[in-house]
Amino acid sequence: MPIALITGITGQDGSYMAELLLARGYRVVGTVRPGKEPDYLRIAHVRERLQIVEGDLLDERALRRLIEQHRPTEIYNLAARASSSQLFQEPILTAEFNAVAVARILEAIRQVDPRIRFCQASSSEMFGNSLESPQHERTPFRPRNPYGVAKLFAHGMVETYRDTYGLFACSSILFNHESPRRGPEFVTRKIALGAARIKAGCTDSLPLGNLEARRDWGYAGDYVQGMWRMLQVAEPGDYVLATGETHSVKEFCEAAFERVGLDYRRHVAVDPQARRPPETVQLVGDASKARALLGWQPTVSFRDLVYMMVDADLERLQARA
């Protein structure tokens, strides 16, 4: 039986990865941060089939002991400080969790068992102020916030350990990926939950920032499938996972409110304080390599993704009523 270790198992990506691996017959070990009460909501339906352990990404010795104890055949590092509100808050702690922690994991793998296959969740934030669009694996990185900089350090360490020590280490360069399990601090979930709450009569307005901002939005369940496939092929490498198309925040609003039979223009209020600086080059991913070498492609359309999120929030609200 293959054994997988998932950091960040209680998050959006971790929960989908746990489901996928359990369905494929893995024994799944998931880490939670020590000293903090975990939120098991996203994995409640599979909790009894998982082994949950404390894993301190800031403690190299503890990581080594964790790997020695559980002897995973695959490790998926999905833990990160990721929300937009944290991009410029506590940059040193962001670097510790999103950058240096990856070096600790890679070094622990090298020392305990170099045969372990490792997947790092990299980010399109590494492209930042890119000079070209769409972005692919050979596009130069130009991060513009502490999160992107930290992810780029981790990305570079994966390549270094792969080239220097021969580890089977991969980076999945993930563009925006959403689901009903997305945290409420992200704009997509704010919109889906806002539309559901307005439909349910809980509120009447939804404050948002720049409605013209565009993103390459995909479904998180598709993206963990891509990460798993990276560790099943003969040679390690880095892969962009993206839909290759962009949609605006306004389009997300239109679809979300359409789902509940409302006109977003009657309820969405633009908050100038929530605006971000304009982007000169569009971030949109070219996943040609993943399609060709992994046989991966998105399965959920943009509109279906929006509908899925709104439906889930409506169901939650109705269950509480």
Residues carrying an active site annotation: 123, 125, 147
End-to-end CA distance of the chain: give it in Å, rounded: 43
